[in-house]
Structure 1
Amino acid sequence: MSKRERKKEIPVFCIELGQHIRTLRIENDLSIEEIAFKAGIDAQNLRKYELGKQEMKVSMMKRIADAFGITTPELLSFDK
Structure 2
Amino acid sequence: MKESANLNPEEHIIRLGKRIKELRLQNDMTQLDLSIKLDIDPTALRRYEKGKVEMGFTTLIKFAEVFETSIDMLLDINISS
TM-score range, shorter chain: 0.7 to 0.9
Q: CA deviation at 1:49?
A: 0.3
Amino acid of the residue matched to residue 56 of structure 1?
Answer: M
Q: Under a length normalisation based on structure 1, what TM-score does the superposition of the two structures give?
A: 0.75
Q: Under a length normalisation based on structure 2, what TM-score does the superposition of the two structures give?
A: 0.74
| Percent identity for Structure 1 against Structure 2 | 33
SS in 2 for 1:54: coil
Q: CA deviation at 1:75?
A: 2.3
Provide runs of 4+ in structure 1 moved above 3 Å. none
Give the structure, 1 or 2, with the largest relative contact order (CA under 8 Å, sep 6 or more).
Answer: 2
Structure 1: runs of 5 or more not aligned:
1-9
- The number of aligned residues is 70
Greater Rg, structure 1 or structure 2? 1
Q: CA deviation at 1:26?
A: 0.7
Aligned residue for 1:69?
68
User: Alpha carbon RMSD of aligned pairs, Å?
Assistant: 2.0
